[in-house]
Amino acid sequence: MKTENGAPNLDEYLEGRNHRYMSYQEASRLYGLPFWTFVTTAKQAKATRKLRKTAIVDLVKFDKYLEEHCLDYKKPQDESEDMDMPRTRKPVENIDELVKSKKKIYVRYTEGAELFSMGLHTFQNLAKDAGAIRKVKGCVLVNLEKVQAFIESFNEEGY
């Protein structure tokens, strides 16, 4: 039951038992919870097992705790199934028309880079140089009017 380096072989130990174990990080991703929220909930469920320098979570105990204490609990899908990530950003359709009609003044870096047909890092540097960046609750927005004015300031005669 031991590996070559003397550590216990968990696969052999857990074989045939009705338990599934994961690290905090893997399990928090699986359940779609922030890391520390998952850790405190797993400790409340008494589903953690401490190993030498790490800890693992018994998912069977954790699921049972959630079923008993949460009203709208649904078990997470296995990683093998296709999962829709909850925080994916939808692409803005007709962004050129929105910008031209002045309905959209602020954009994110990726939208601005696509709009100006340049790379992401080039657009980020351009927006910083133009002084067009605004940070709102951890979200970086770029003022397109300032970026356009900055680009127009490089107007060279003869081209």
Cα–Cα dist 52/58, whole Å: 16
What pLDDT does residue 126 have?
93
* Tokens 């959630």 -> residue: 66
Cα gap 91→87, rounded to integer Å: 13
Residues, the chain, total? 159
- Tell me the C-alpha distance between 120 and 112, whole Å: 8
| DSSP string for 123-145 | HHHHHHHHT-EEEETTEEEEEHH
Q: Which residues pair with 146 in a beta bridge?
A: none
Indicate the Cα dihedral angle 76, 80, 85, 88, nearest 10°. -170
Residues 95, 111: contact at Cβ < 8 Å? yes
- The pLDDT score that the predictor gives to residue 124 is 93
pTM greater than the 0.75 cutoff? no
Give the tokens for residue 134: 């605004």
Beta bridge partners of 55: 50
pLDDT given for residue 130 in this prediction: 93
pLDDT recorded at residue 14: 57
pLDDT value of residue 90: 61
Contact 33, 26 (CB under 8 A): no
pLDDT score recorded for residue 52: 79
pLDDT score at 3:
60
Rounded mean pLDDT for each run of 10 residues along the chain, 159 residues in total: 61 62 83 85 88 83 81 56 54 65 78 86 93 88 89 73
Residue 66 and residue 41: Cα distance in Å, rounded? 9
pLDDT of residue 133: 92
Q: What is the pLDDT of residue 18?
A: 63
H-state helical runs in 45-119? 59-69, 95-100, 109-115
**Domain ranges, ordered by start, for the chain:** 10-69, 95-152
Distance CA 134, CA 152 (A): 21
- pLDDT of 110 reads 85
